[in-house]
Structures are given as structure tokens and as C-alpha cells.
A = this chain, B = another copy of it.
Amino acid sequence: MPSALAPSFAKRREPRPPRRDTAGLAPLSSLVAPATRQPHADSRAPLVLDAAARLFCRQGFEGTSVRDIASAAGMLPGSLYCHFATKDDLLVAVYLRGVEQICAAVEAAVLPLADPWQRLEAACVAHLEAILRNDDYARVVVRVRPADVPAAADRLVAQRDRYEALWSALVAALPLARRTDRKALRLMLLGALNWAQNWYRADGTSSPRTLARQFTALVHQSAAHGPRTPESPTT
């Protein structure tokens, strides 16, 4: 499956065995379901998570130290470990929420629309706005390569796959010429959108919205009319 992402070239910093593996999900529960707050449930875990998301998306994972995160959250480095077992787990938690938020954004954008191409375009816009604007969590999902954090790669990839499934459905709904490779279409669009993180500057002329529409348009008619696939050009 081309969505697999983690060729383990890992090597350094073999983390001492991760103690309790379930810890990755534990802290999230408090985020997903703040629910009825316990009297002293004013946990500072969300603060930590916010700080981590902000720093990971600005400086990358390796470029951010736990000291950075701790001090941004107003605590000492050791205190982080009350909430997250390892730095990797912290990343997983950020990823988890990032995927949730980007999924929610795309689903909300797509919901009121019926036309498959319009739905695709709306998804592109929502996606690009999420990963270029201020959703630090979503940005991390695109910014941090699972392969760079071997011990957590599986969990990160699993999250990404969750999101890509959503796109597979969007693409599956398109009325395309029979020969069109729908997977290639999905990979191309998502790749083009994600890579924008590498060059897009907020002060530029075109907004994420415009950009997303341009990208969609570039594949629209082409795909719809049936592109000449390399193997069997229509001639």
C-alpha cells in the first residue's frame, strides 16, 4: 500500500523499553472527552499538548527538545513525564488530535455538497487551510515524517491511514474514465497539497483556498475526460 510510510532506518537513541505502551492513548482521553471536569481535574496536559503541537510544527520533532516544550508550557522538563511517558508518545498524541481535526474539517466542508467534484474541491480547500493556517495539530501531521521517529512510526502511519481512507472515498465517488488510476489521482493531489507547506508563505498573493481550487481544477477536466494513461495513450 503506498500509504505505508516507515522504512526503518532508525538507529540512534534506542529508547529504553517504552514502559507502558498504552500511555500513548491515555492522555488523549482527557482531550477527546473533557466531559464533566473533576474538582481538581484542571490538568495541565492540554497545555503541554498545545505547546508540543506549536513547537513540533514550527521546529520539527528533532528540532524541539522536551525542555522547549516544558518551558513553553510553564513547567520543568521532568514534569512532562507526569502526562506523557516519552517524547514519542507526545508526538503520537499530537498526531492523533491533528488527524481528528483535519478529518473533522474536511468532513464538515464536504457534508453539504453533493457533486463529487465539488466535494473534492472543498476537501482540498479544507485540507490546505488546515495545514497552512493556524491548526498546529494538523500541520504536525504533514510536517513530521513518521519514518523519523521509528519507535512511533507504526502508530503515526496508522493515524495517517485513517485520514487517507476518507480521501479514497472522495476519489472513488468521482465519475472518471475507466482507465484512470484513482490511487494516483489521490496521491498526486495530496502530495501537491502537502508539499505546499514547504514553500507557501502566508504573505503571498494567493490564499490556500485559491491554491486548492487551482490544484483541483488542474486535474478536473483532464481526469474527467480521460487522460491518456502512459501505458495506453488514447492517441
Point out residues on A near B: beta carbons under 8 Å: 2-5, 7, 9, 11-12, 58-60, 62-63, 65, 67, 71, 145, 148, 181, 184-185, 187-196, 198-201, 204, 206, 209-211, 213-231
Contacts and interface: CB of A to CB of B under 8 A. Distances in A.
Contact of A219 (B4, B60, B222, B229): B222
Copy number in the complex reads: 4
11 contacts: A5-B198, A9-B58, A11-B59, A145-B198, A184-B218, A191-B198, A209-B230, A213-B229, A216-B230, A221-B227, A222-B224
A126 to B, nearest CB: 14
Contact of A185 (B209, B218, B231): B218
Given A184-B215, A227-B218, A195 B199 contact: no
Given A2-B201, A192-B195, A217-B227, 15 more contacts: A2-B200, A2-B204, A4-B199, A9-B71, A11-B59, A60-B62, A62-B62, A188-B188, A188-B192, A191-B191, A191-B198, A213-B230, A214-B229, A218-B219, A222-B227
A163 to B, nearest CB: 13
Nearest to A184: B214
Contact of A228 (B71, B217, B225, B228): B217
A195 B200 contact: no
Nearest to A11: B59
A226 B222 CA distance: 9
